[in-house]
Structure 1
Amino acid sequence: MFDVYITKAGKYLPNEAVTNDEMEDILGKINNSTSKARRIVLRNNGITTRYYAIDKTGTITHNNAQLTHLAIEQLYDKDFTKSDVELLSCGTSSPDNLFPSHASMVHGLMDNQSVELNSSSGVCCAGMNALKYGFLSIKSGNSNNAVCTGSERSSTWMIADKFNNEVVNLQNLEEQPILAFKKDFLRWMLSDGAGAFLLENQPRGEMSLKIEWMESYSYAHELEACMYAGGDKLEDGSIRPWQDYPVEEWLKQSVFSVKQDVKLLDKFVMEKGSLSTKHALDKHGVSSDDIDYLLPHVSSHFFAKKLYEELAGRGIIVPEEKWFINLSRVGNVGSASIYLMVEEILNSGKLKKGEKLLLVVPESGRFTYSVAYLTVC
């Protein structure tokens, strides 16, 4: 078995940063009405700027594959070119097409040579699943290197005309912020971008990150879907897929809009996340004292405090000064968020050799979690 290192990290954030006051001008107003939820949601999520693959005139500038390819290009230098790539593993929850796969579309833009492909679907854990595929391939000796990515283009799902048939009930929003986490909340939460890692079986350059282990957990056997698109949830908790609806119902029922069961989200997302983290740390004999930086993907600062409390309740006490989150600056970029956090801290000058990073990524789709442990070397 070979050691596996993240030897380089790249990112691509499209266009100019979009401030809170500019969001609705770009995404549009649902039924020509200013959102009552926007300011409250933004106050709770703590995001101040984000990026859209839509410019300020409303013109779409990039698709998901293009965002991903532009992030991958940041990995190339004189010692590693596109002709050296052996494996391409891409994760996203917002592919441009149902098929061909997202990785195939990205590979088509790379214009290099035949490579092994993997496409990981899902929601926020799609990027971590893509990373784990590359990690296991190199660890087993199947590959000498892998390019792994997480990317999203959510903005075009959030344009006003996609929501004009939605009914948004935000009563008691001031007293119960969790009620904002309905269909309208996602318009002020999600953003676009891509991150990419180069994985190799040897460290490279001044600093690399050794992937010590990765663990994944699913609670779909216990819990029904929480975040979903391309169907609608029925009373029994099952999801009726878009193919089963008459065409004329697709828009009327907003079948393709992203929805979230906020009661499930509030009750389980952090509880299961802390449980998964506890299982992973116990399995590998890692304690709180063995964590120098915690990089948690949280969709909102509203959940950061809850995560801290849930972890502490399980004996995992990581002081806030050890938390590294860039949510306020880049927004919630779904499966790309953990890549953007790692890229930023790796290139920040903060890290010292021997330090340990814990990555924690929750996914509310049907409650999936990924945990990884890295060593700075």
Structure 2
Amino acid sequence: MKDVYITRIAKFLPNKPVDNEQMEEKLGVINGKASKARRLVLRNNKIKTRYYAIDENGNVTHNNAQLTAAAIEALCDDKFTTKDIELLSCGTSSPDQILPSHASMVHGFLKNRNMEINSPSGACCSGMNALKYGYLSIKAGQTENAACAGSERTSSWMRADVFENEVAHLKEVEENPILAFNKEFLRWMLSDGAGAVLLEDAPNGPNPLKIEWINGYSYAHEMETCMYAGAEKEDNGHLTPWSEIPAEQWGKKSLFAMKQDTRLLGNNILQKGVDSLKQVYKKHNIGPDDVDYYLPHISSYYFKQGLYDEMAAQGVEMPWEKWFLNLEHIGNIGAASIYVMLEELVASGKLKKGDKILFQVPESARFSYMYAYLTVC
């Protein structure tokens, strides 16, 4: 089995940073009224700027596949071009269409060469699953390199026109025309962008990182759905998919908007996260003392102290000086967040040979968690 190294890292964040006062202008006002939930959500998540693939005139500037292609192109130069990539593996929560696959569309924009592609589905963990597929391919000797990416373009799912039909319908039936908090919650949380890494079977480049292992854990066998899109959640927790709902109801229910069951999220995301963290520590016989940089993907700073407290309660607290976060100025880019976090850490110049880096990426969709452990070469 071959060793696998991250040899290049890149990101692509569209347009200029959007601050909290510009958000509603970019995404649009629903029902002609400013959101009452926005300031509450922003006060809790403490995100100050994020990125949208929307220009000053409200026009879309990039789709998801274009964001991803731009990040992958940023990995390349005259010594390693897009035509040298053997495997393309791309994860996202927000593909541009149901079919073709996301990686297939990215490949179409790259216009580089015939090669293997992979499109893991899911939410935030899809970016990590994209990384693991490339890692395993190289480790098994199937390929010598792989370009792996995580990306999101959720702004298009959060624009006001996505919700207008539902608001109009609620008015018709004389119901309160205020969106449920579970729908509006994510509107003020998410950001657009893409991150990518090049994996190789040799420690090339100035800052190679050896991937020691990647592991994942799912709690779907015991947990109902928490975050979803393209479905309606019933009172019993069951999801009714869009394909079983009459087409005339899709707009009235904002069926394709992302939604979050905030009750389930708050009660479970941290406890399951630390439970899976303990499992991965046990599996590899490591603990907090074996980590120099801890990169947790958290959707909101609201969960930061809670995560630390849950670690302490379960006897595996991570000292604050080892935490590395960039949520405040980058925003929550879902599947891309861990890639962009790593890019920023490497660019900081803080890393030294032998340092150990631990990724923790949760996915609230149905409570999944992915971990990776890296060594600075």
Pairs within 5 Å for 1:69-88: 69-88=69-88
State the match for 1:34 in structure 2.
34
State the match for 1:296 in structure 2.
296
State the match for 2:229 in structure 1.
229
1:168–1:183 CA contact under 8 A, matched in 2:
no
TM-score by length of 2: 0.95
Instruction: Give deviations 1:135-177, integer Å, cap 9, x for gaps.
Output: 111111111000000000000111112123265478xxxxxxx
Instruction: Give deviations 1:310-353, integer Å, cap 9, x for gaps.
Output: 12222222111211000011100000000000111111101111
Give the CA deviation at 1:236. 2.0
2:60 aligned with 1:60: yes
Amino acid at match of 1:280: V
- Look up the SS of the partner of 1:361 in the other structure: strand
Pairs within 5 Å for 1:174-193: 182-193=182-193
State the match for 1:114 in structure 2.
114
Amino acid at match of 1:317: E
Equivalent-residue separation in structure 2 for 1:236 and 1:183 (angstroms):
19
Instruction: Give deviations 1:188-243, integer Å, cap 9, x for gaps.
Output: 10010000000001111221111101110001100111000001011221111111
2:214 aligned with 1:214: yes
Amino acid at match of 2:17: A
State the match for 1:176 in structure 2.
none
Equivalent-residue separation in structure 2 for 1:314 and 1:86 (angstroms):
43
Instruction: Give deviations 1:49-79, integer Å, cap 9, x for gaps.
Output: 0000011210100000000000001111232
Instruction: Give deviations 1:255-310, integer Å, cap 9, x for gaps.
Output: 11111111111111111111111101111011111110100000000011111111
State the match for 2:255 in structure 1.
255
Pairs within 5 Å for 1:86-165: 86-164=86-164, 165=166
Instruction: Single out whichever of 310-319 and 208-217 deviates more from structure 2.
Output: 310-319
Equivalent-residue separation in structure 1 for 2:179 and 2:13 (angstroms):
32
Instruction: Single out whichever of 293-302 and 205-214 deviates more from structure 2.
Output: 205-214
Instruction: Single out whichever of 126-135 and 73-82 deviates more from structure 2.
Output: 73-82
Instruction: Single out whichever of 204-213 and 357-366 deviates more from structure 2.
Output: 204-213
Question: Using a 3 Å threshold, how does the CA distance of structure 1 residues 322 and 197 change in structure 2: closer, same or farther?
Answer: same
Pairs within 5 Å for 1:1-16: 1-16=1-16
- Look up the SS of the partner of 1:214 in the other structure: strand
Identity %: 59
2:46–2:300 CA contact under 8 A, matched in 1:
yes
- Look up the SS of the partner of 1:191 in the other structure: coil
State the match for 2:174 in structure 1.
none
2:228–2:260 CA contact under 8 A, matched in 1:
yes
2:48 aligned with 1:48: yes
1:194–1:336 CA contact under 8 A, matched in 2:
yes
State the match for 2:171 in structure 1.
none
Equivalent-residue separation in structure 2 for 1:269 and 1:163 (angstroms):
27
State the match for 1:368 in structure 2.
368
Equivalent-residue separation in structure 1 for 2:237 and 2:340 (angstroms):
34
Equivalent-residue separation in structure 1 for 2:214 and 2:221 (angstroms):
21
Question: Using a 3 Å threshold, how does the CA distance of structure 1 residues 106 and 294 change in structure 2: closer, same or farther?
Answer: same
State the match for 2:172 in structure 1.
none
Kindly report the root-mean-square deviation, in angstroms, between the aligned alpha carbons of the 2 structures.
1.1
- Look up the SS of the partner of 1:21 in the other structure: coil
Amino acid at match of 2:353: K
Structure 2's unaligned 5+ residue stretches are 168-176
Instruction: Single out whichever of 157-166 and 2-11 deviates more from structure 2.
Output: 157-166
State the match for 2:280 in structure 1.
280
Amino acid at match of 1:249: Q
Equivalent-residue separation in structure 2 for 1:74 and 1:310 (angstroms):
38
Amino acid at match of 1:356: K
State the match for 2:173 in structure 1.
none
2:349 aligned with 1:349: yes
TM-score by length of 1: 0.95
Amino acid at match of 1:362: P
State the match for 2:335 in structure 1.
335
- Look up the SS of the partner of 1:198 in the other structure: strand
- Look up the SS of the partner of 1:336 in the other structure: helix
- Look up the SS of the partner of 1:72 in the other structure: helix
State the match for 1:175 in structure 2.
none
Q: For this pair of structures, how many residues does the alignment match?
A: 367
State the match for 2:305 in structure 1.
305
Equivalent-residue separation in structure 1 for 2:312 and 2:338 (angstroms):
22
State the match for 1:240 in structure 2.
240
2:185–2:260 CA contact under 8 A, matched in 1:
no
Pairs within 5 Å for 1:187-206: 187-206=187-206
Equivalent-residue separation in structure 2 for 1:280 and 1:79 (angstroms):
37
Structure 1's unaligned 5+ residue stretches are 171-179
Equivalent-residue separation in structure 2 for 1:70 and 1:97 (angstroms):
19
Equivalent-residue separation in structure 1 for 2:375 and 2:130 (angstroms):
20
- Look up the SS of the partner of 1:32 in the other structure: coil
